[in-house]
Structure 1
């Protein structure tokens, strides 16, 4: 049920704000689940004489080599000068120690959708890559996170594997690592606690679609986008999120959260702009900081709208910054909304019941 007219609201949008149209739970939000090569439009323009014969190196950008969709079972010889190597959608099963010996300045390595296993990736396979920035190795058969990796890395994507373990210190020293995608794996909290220690630049971490029953320890405080959707998490330790000094986007939808597992101050984080607690078993609205702008609580067991969940005080300068609020799929009707809500949520332009 939508509120079509509420005093103090300028206008309610006629179309429901539906976050699913913006969120790609399989791909993971920031940066998307796939990649867009800045040189993709060149892939059909001639070939470089140094290119592997089965691959394509665009004449206008010979530092990119496209070997995708060729049913390759092994990595072809990679000539010097290649900085962007595309090997996705093949049948590659192994990586030898000397696979990249000629391309020490390789920056992008795309290995998505192959048949790689940890047993057939040699220990020093990535050692020659002294300037590697991006490694995409999703949709393979990995059971552990690969490594050690170059310290120049800034983007690691290993989604849709069978990863159940991250070896301690495997990510040690990756101080430039900004983005990590690990959704759709088999990770439990004990297998990753402390695994991200020392990642001083980490901004985006997606651990959705795993097997965690608790929130893991040791996530860097630099993280601003943190996703735990579709796990089995039933409680939030007191003050757990207060340690994140830059946290802006937090998702915990499709878990097992109930009131008994959510301390009163759990989500009162001053930096938080967006919070997703949809598809849980909450009976009341967890309190949030007045600075929160988007709050998703649909499909819970909420039966009461408490203004104190949004506003500690109400005055000319004291009010909630909530703009989008979803409460549909709960046990709340328009008649359940208290009158003082209008002053508290005075800037909201979309509330869905």
Structure 2
């Protein structure tokens, strides 16, 4: 045995000794001299610090490691032996980066052929193109989930670089940030399971497509492609299952429906930052699954977007921001006609300058978009919020930043009941009226961005400053909120540091006297109202019963329509619909009166209740804690008890869904439970449930 073999065995033994101790989540230095392990995220990071040659291979690592990263090595020759000590690991990710590798043998990574769905990342290294090509050929023995070849200076000048991948199994390939000038999909067509291909950030100016039924996502953005790739050929799609296509930041000078109509599965299309200036009618109309269109920051101004240009009832999101368009000239008012399901629309950083028809144009442009949830009208030179915006009641996010708006419309937040985020910074607000911000709105809205407005530091803003101090997270960076003094000085202050003299905000004596007088009057009214409110249910009960006293005395012959009238609270609706109706009506033919189904529309609720009592042979009370907490249910129960007593009808049956807490039991409910037969709901016990429904049917059908 020579000296080199002995040294190698000694180093291996040392590695084994150093890694026999179990690694805890807090101990990340237990993998040897150059590796750090973390059991929490199942990872190991081996750092060569720019000079380690990894001569003896990756050291032995704990068996829990599934993510291995090698960084900053200077490797002369990477072989199977490099990974001899870790080849038994069940890796899901192998990441080699920021290293210089002179050579890699073809079968180097075959030691991980047992690892299913491995992510192999070898981008961001210094490796010769011929060496990488050799590595690709050796990947045929692996099943890869992801292959990363970014930043490797790949040029593929002869158009054969990716041919060695033929026969390999790779789901996703990224070759971005290289120097490719041509894209020929025939090099990838024999890569099985390839559903994602990223060729962004190259110099591609020629594209040749070959049929692939498995490709789902294709990224060709940030290249120099001069015209739309020929995907539709002889009424056939080269990529019939393509769902995402990114062609932004290219040199495409023309787009029409004939170029894309065959992409029947396409959901996401990004054509931003290209050279075309016109979008014709029905350009996207033949893409039945299209959800998102991005046309942002075109190289030349979009000069003509025709009527029905986006005509597609499946589209959810349209991005047209940063195009510097004069909307009234370039964007037809019927451009969005047919977009019945559109939820997101971004028109920010364009212009609407033509007066006085500015708001009429915006009204006509948005009038059909009743399902919008996110609307961006930032930097459109608006001087007030368009009225049509308040009619779009489903909006949750509204962006109106960088305009000239100085006040909110009347009842703005009340008219937009679902608004949660409002971005209206950098406008012309000098103050905010407290009445425009009702308490219900303050609890609902999560973001209220008013920064960059020319606020004045006075008493009118004191309430807003206090609100900002209580909940700073609602308003964005508070350092962006500045204000000036009301004396006209130009010096600006941080709003949260605003200090206003109490004398400046004190009320006059006459005003204070009026307020005190009104306060005394209000207190008297409140005391009277509280007494009335305390006995309100009793008063209502007496009034409603007096209304039916005469009628009830004259009743002799009653024709019953229902076998039972069911009284329940909204929280127990599911039990009534899923348990009571199927077991009593559908299986036993017992006719139930259910208020949400059988009440007469338009009649008073109390009239419906009494009519249902008169037309029902029996009454079923569905009792629960929710029922006991409901004032209306308590009233309905009292009305029922009084009615049955006056008519000498004791046919009341109670169902107890759960034990009712003593604090919720009223005197009338206590008396009813003591004097009335009730059945207890057995829960999920099937045999007990069958017996329960048998007893219920017997009680409701007996004479």
TM bracket, shorter-chain basis: 0.7 to 0.9
Is 1:128 matched up with 2:128?
Answer: no
Equivalent residues in 2 for 1:226-265, closer than 5 Å = 226-235=218-227, 236-237=229-230, 239=232, 242-259=237-254, 262=255, 264-265=257-258
Counterpart among 99, 108, 126 of residue 82 in structure 2? 99
2:174 alignment partner in structure 1:
181
- Residue-by-residue CA offset, 1:94-139 (whole Å, 9 max, x unaligned): 41342123433442221022123xx511222223221341211111
Distance (Å, rounded) in 2 between the aligned partners of 1:42 and 1:270 = 51
Q: Using the alignment, how far apart are the partners of 2:58 and 2:48 within structure 1? A: 17
Cα distance in 2, alignment partners of residues 62 and 98 from structure 1: 26
Task: Establish whether residue 112 from structure 1 lines up as the match of residue 112 from structure 2.
Answer: no
Task: Measure, in 2, the Cα distance between the counterparts of 1:45 and 1:219.
Answer: 52
Greater Cα shift, 224-233 or 343-352: 343-352
Residues 1:45 and 2:27 aligned together: yes
Offset of residue 271 of structure 1? 1.6
Query: Could you tell me whether the CA contact under 8 Å between 2:46 and 2:69 is conserved in 1?
Result: yes
5+ residue gaps, structure 2, are: 1-22, 351-703
Q: 1:290 to 1:57 in 2, by over 3 A?
A: closer
The secondary structure found in structure 1 opposite 2:237 is helix
TM-score w.r.t. length of structure 2: 0.39
Separation (CA, whole Å) in 1 of partners of 2:166 and 2:60: 30
Alpha-carbon distance in 2 for matches of 1:291, 1:163: 35
Q: Report the Cα distance in structure 1 between the residues aligned to 2:314 and 2:126, rounded to whole angstroms.
A: 46
Q: Match for residue 19 of structure 1?
A: none
- Higher RCO (C-alpha 8 Å, min separation 6): 1
Contact 2:209 2:238 in 1 (8 A): no
Residue 44 of structure 1 contacts residue 56 of structure 1 at CA under 8 Å; is this kept in 2? no
Contact 1:113/1:137 (CA < 8 Å) preserved in 2?
A: no
Note if contact 1:93-1:114 (Cα within 8 Å) is conserved in structure 2.
no
The alignment partner of 2:245 has SS state of strand
Taking only aligned residues, the RMSD between alpha carbons, in angstroms, comes to 3.1
The alpha carbon displacement at 1:168 in A equals 4.8
Q: 1:67 to 1:52 in 2, by over 3 A?
A: same
Partner residue in 2 for 1:77:
58
Aligned residues: 298
Contact 2:171–2:196 (CA under 8 A) maintained in structure 1: yes
* Secondary structure class of the residue paired with 1:343: coil
**What's the offset of the Cα at 1:250?**
1.0
Question: CA deviation digits over 1:156-210, x for unaligned, max 9?
Answer: 11111101236354223333x21211100112326x5422122332222110011
Q: Deviations 1:54-97 (Å, cap 9, x if unpaired)? A: 22344x47974321364353234333756432112444454134
1:162 matched to 2:153? The reply is yes
**Map 1:1-353 → 2, pairs under 5 A:** 45-46=27-28, 48=30, 51-58=31-38, 60=39, 64-68=43-47, 70-75=49-54, 76-79=57-60, 81=63, 83-92=66-75, 94-106=77-89, 107=91, 108-116=93-101, 119-132=102-115, 133-142=118-127, 143=129, 144-145=132-133, 146-147=135-136, 148-149=138-139, 150-165=141-156, 167-175=161-169, 177-189=170-182, 192-218=184-210, 220-235=212-227, 236-237=229-230, 239=232, 242-259=237-254, 262=255, 264-268=257-261, 269-285=263-279, 287-288=283-284, 289-300=287-298, 301=300, 302-311=302-311, 319=313, 321-326=315-320, 328-329=322-323, 331-348=325-342, 349-352=344-347, 353=350
Whole-angstrom CA distance in 1 between matches of 2:29 and 2:321 = 56
Structure 1: 5+ residue stretches without partners: 1-40, 312-317
Q: In the alignment, what sits opposite 1:11?
A: none
Q: Secondary structure at the match of 2:341?
A: coil
**Structure-2 change in CA distance of 1:332 and 1:345 (3 Å):** farther
CA distance in 2 between partners of 1:270 and 1:222 (Å): 14
Q: What is the SS of the residue equivalent to 2:68?
A: strand
1:194-249 deviations in Å (ceiling 9; x for gaps): 22122332222110011211224347432222111111111222516933232222
SS of equivalent residue, structure 1 residue 100: helix
Superposition deviation, residue 346 in structure 1: 3.5
* Inter-CA distance 70–327: structure 2 relative to 1 (3 Å threshold): closer
Please identify which structure carries the higher strand content: 2
SS of 2:340's equivalent in the other structure is: coil
Distance 1:57 1:339 in 2: 60
SS in structure 2 opposite 1:121?
coil
Residues of 2 paired with 1:168 and 1:245: CA distance?
Answer: 23
How far has the Cα of 1:251 moved from its partner? 0.8
Secondary structure, counterpart of 2:143 in structure 1: coil
Q: 1:162 to 1:329 in 2, by over 3 A?
A: same
Distance 2:258 2:24 in 1: 53
Classify 1:271/1:62 alpha carbon distance in 2 versus 1 (closer, same or farther; 3 Å): closer
Which of the pair is proportionally richer in helix? Answer: 2
Q: Please give the alpha-carbon distance, in whole angstroms, between the structure 1 residues aligned to 2:27 and 2:231.
A: 58
The 1:306–1:62 alpha-carbon spacing in structure 2 relative to 1, beyond 3 Å, is closer
